[in-house]
A and B are shown apart, each in its own frame.
Chain A
C-alpha cells in the first residue's frame, strides 16, 4: 500500500486540506469579525444599541447556520463559478466553506467579546472613547485570548466540513477518503486519512491552546 504514488497522494491531500482550511478560516474571519462585532455593539445593552440591525443579523446568522453544509455546497455552485471561475478544485471549495463558516465564526466572536467586562467598556466610555476606539482598543484586545482560542475551534470545524467537499470535486484528504477509502474499499487508505486528520486537528488545537496561554495576561 505504501508505494510512492500513494505517499504522494497523502502528501498532496494533506497540503490541500491545510491550505483549504486555513484560507477558508481566514476569509470566514474577515466576514465573521464584522458580523460578530456588529452583533455585540447593536444588542440591547451594547454600546450602539440598534434593535433592527441586531435582529436582522441574528436571524441571518441562525438561518445560514441551520443550512446543511452539503446542500449549501451544491446550492452556491453558481456563485462559486462566478467568484473563482470553476466549481471544482481547492479554490472552489473555499467559497461554500466561507459562506457556511462566517456565521459560525460570528457567533464565536460574539461570545468572546461578551466575555469582556462591561465595566472596562464603561471605563473607556468615561474617558471619552469613541465607538471605534472601544472596538479596536478595548473589545478586541481584551478578548484576544478568547478570540485565539475560538479560532482554533473554527479551524477544526472548517477542517471537518472541508472533507465533505471531497464529495463534490473538492480536493484534499476528504477526496482520498471518499474515492479510495469508501468507493474502492481501501480500508488502509481510509485509516491513514483519518489518522492524518486527527494529527492536523490536534496540531491546530495545540497551537491554539499555546497561543491563548501565551497572550493571556490575566493568569500569571
Chain B
C-alpha cells in the first residue's frame, strides 16, 4: 500500500520544477536539407533559481528561450510550465500563460511613442486593468527599478541601462513567475551590465521570481546564476550547478567557456589548473609548494572569479619536465586538498 502511494506522488525533482523542457526540437526548413536549431533539448528549471543558458552565437540559445514562451513554435517535444504543456494550448490559453512569463530583450523593445510609465502600464492595459490601478502599479515598479523620477520620460530620452530597467518593470507588471532574459545585458557597457545583473538578482531574491538568463558571456553566468546549461550546436552539451561546471568542465565546450581564450590554443604540455577557494587564498600556496617540493613552476595565467557570491581564484601552472617532480607536486596538492588537475592538450 505504501508502495502505491509512493508511485502516485510525483518525484521530488519534478514537483519542484517550474519549467520542464522535454525532447525539444526546432527545425527550420532549409533549401536542400532541414536545419536543426535545437535538437533533443532536456532541461529542468526549478522554482526560485536563476538558470543560465550559455553558448556561442548560433548555438540556439535565443531560439530556446523563445520556445519557452512559444514565440517560436517547437517542431517537436514539450515545454511544461508548472504542469501545463504550453505546446498544446489554444491561442487564448497561451496568451494567458504568457502573462506569467515576463521577458526582456537585448534591444529593450520598448514602445517608443509611450513614456516609461505608459510602457509599464501596457501589459496591464492588455488585460483590462483599470487605469488608476495600472498607473499605481507602474509607479511602484518604476520605483523598484530605481526610475521613479523618469516615469514621464520617453525611451529616446533614456540611456540603455535605464531602458532595460523600464523593460524589467514592464515585464514584472503582470506578476510573472518567470523572468526570461534574452541577452539582456549584451548591448550594455560593463558597469551598466553589473547594475542590471544586480537588479535581476535582487528581483529573484526579494520577489522570488525565477529567472532564465541567456548570454554568451561566462561572467554573466558567474555573477548571478546558480545553475547553468551550456548549449552547443542546438543541444545541451553540459549542465549543472555553476560551481561544478566551473571546477570540473567535462566537455570541450565547457572548457572553452571556463578557461581564458589565450590558453585554449596554447601548444604547451604539462599545464595544470589550480583552483583556490576562499580558504586557500589565505596561505601562500604556490610559494609553499615550490619550497616543499623543491622544484620551480611556471605561472602561465591567473584570475579570480565571483561564483554566486563566493570568490574563487584559478591559476594555470606549467610544471617541471621531470616526472618525479610532477608526482611530488601532485602528492603535495592532494595532501592539502588543493584542487590541481591536468589540462587536456589543445
Contact = CB atoms under 8 A, between A and B. Distances in A.
Interface of A: 117, 119-120, 122-130, 133, 137-138, 141-142, 144-145, 215-220
Interface in B107-143: 107, 109-115, 122-123, 125-127
B156 interface: yes
B71 A126 contact: yes
A218 B103 CA distance: 23
Contacts of A126: 69, 71, 98, 101-103, 180
Contacts of B154: 217-218, 220
Contacts of A216: 113
Chain B contact residues: helix, strand, loop or mixed: mixed
Contact of A127 (B99, B113, B157): B99
B215 interface: no
Contacts of B103: 123, 126-127
Nearest to B103: A126
B67 to A, nearest CB: 12
A124 B115 CA distance: 16
Contacts of B250: none
B95 A119 contact: no
13 contacts: A122-B105, A123-B105, A125-B98, A126-B103, A127-B98, A128-B97, A128-B123, A128-B127, A141-B111, A217-B114, A217-B115, A217-B154, A219-B156
B164 interface: no
Given A128-B98, A128-B99, A220 B156 contact: yes
Contacts of A138: 111
B270 interface: no
B271 to A, nearest CB: 44
B256 interface: no
Given A127-B122, A137-B125, A137-B126, A142 B111 contact: yes
Contacts of A117: 107, 109, 112
A29 B35 CA distance: 43
Given A123-B110, A217-B115, A220-B154, 11 more contacts: A117-B107, A117-B109, A122-B109, A124-B126, A126-B180, A127-B171, A133-B126, A137-B126, A217-B114, A217-B156, A220-B157
A144 B109 contact: no
Interface of B: 69, 71, 91, 94-99, 101-103, 105, 107, 109-115, 122-123, 125-127, 154-157, 167, 170-171, 174, 180
Question: Which 10 A-B pairs have CB atoms at the shortest separation, nearest pair first?
Answer: A123-B109, A128-B95, A128-B98, A126-B103, A119-B109, A127-B123, A217-B154, A128-B99, A218-B156, A217-B113
Given A126-B69, A127-B123, A137-B126, A218 B112 contact: yes
A43 to B, nearest CB: 18
Contacts of A144: 113
Contacts of A215: 113
Chain A contact residues: helix, strand, loop or mixed: helix
A124 B114 CA distance: 13
Contacts, number: 84
A213 to B, nearest CB: 13
B95 A120 contact: no
Contacts of B156: 217-220
A98 B155 CA distance: 38
Q: Which residue of A122, A123, A142 has the most chain B CB atoms within 10 A of its CB atom?
A: A123
A210 to B, nearest CB: 17
A73 B105 CA distance: 51
A144 B102 CA distance: 27
A176 B333 CA distance: 102
Nearest to A116: B112
Q: Which residue of B94, B126, B155, B170 has the most chain A CB atoms within 10 A of its CB atom?
A: B126
A127 B112 contact: no
B126 A120 contact: no
A54 B107 CA distance: 29
Contacts of A130: 91, 95, 126
Contacts of B126: 124, 127-130, 133, 137
Contacts of B107: 117, 119
Contacts of A129: 95, 126
Nearest to A217: B154
A122 B109 CA distance: 8
Nearest to B110: A120
Contacts of B127: 128
Contacts of A128: 94-99, 123, 126-127, 174
Nearest to B174: A127
B253 to A, nearest CB: 28
B98 A120 contact: no
Contacts of A137: 122, 125-126
Nearest to A121: B109
B73 to A, nearest CB: 12
A205 B123 CA distance: 36
A126 B115 CA distance: 20
